[in-house]
Structure 1
């Protein structure tokens, strides 16, 4: 009788994304700090990397959305922040 393999960590449900860019950034910074500490086991590192990739994608999408709104407000021309 063959043994059934243990469920992979891929089967774990994804954590919900934060409500704001700032929350996502704070969680991402915390993950990076934990990963850099060298105290996480290999599976923990992999889970942290996956979560970090999700958070990074969320942050990039939020930044792109804000950039698109700024372009609309600036009449289709993105101007440097310092421009008056």
Structure 2
């Protein structure tokens, strides 16, 4: 019997959701209980989640630059 096609994972709803899923994947992979095919799929999903998180962080950083009147990011707590 052929395997049913699985739908590709959806994009995370938020940075926090992506980070939580990524942490869960890392935990599963580190457990040593995942079969080789599962490890490969988890690695691929982890790479997608990491790319999503980096994209969100880059977008927020760009918004901070735009909001900063001087065009420079100042360290937190500096006025």
When normalised by structure 2's length, the TM-score is: 0.87
Aligned length: 76
Asked if 1:29 is matched to 2:16, the reply is no
* Aligned-pair CA distance for 1:14: 2.2
Summarize deviations over 1:23-43 as a string: whole Å, max 9, x none: 000000000000000000000
* Rg larger in structure: 1
Q: Which residue of 2 aligns with 1:16?
A: 10
Give the one of 61, 79, 83 matched to 2:74. 79
Q: Which residue of 2 aligns with 1:47?
A: 41
Q: Which residue of 2 aligns with 1:3?
A: none
Q: Which runs of 5+ in 1 are unaligned?
A: 1-5
Q: Which runs of 5+ in 2 are unaligned?
A: none
* Structure 1 runs of 4+ with >3 Å offset: none
When normalised by structure 1's length, the TM-score is: 0.82
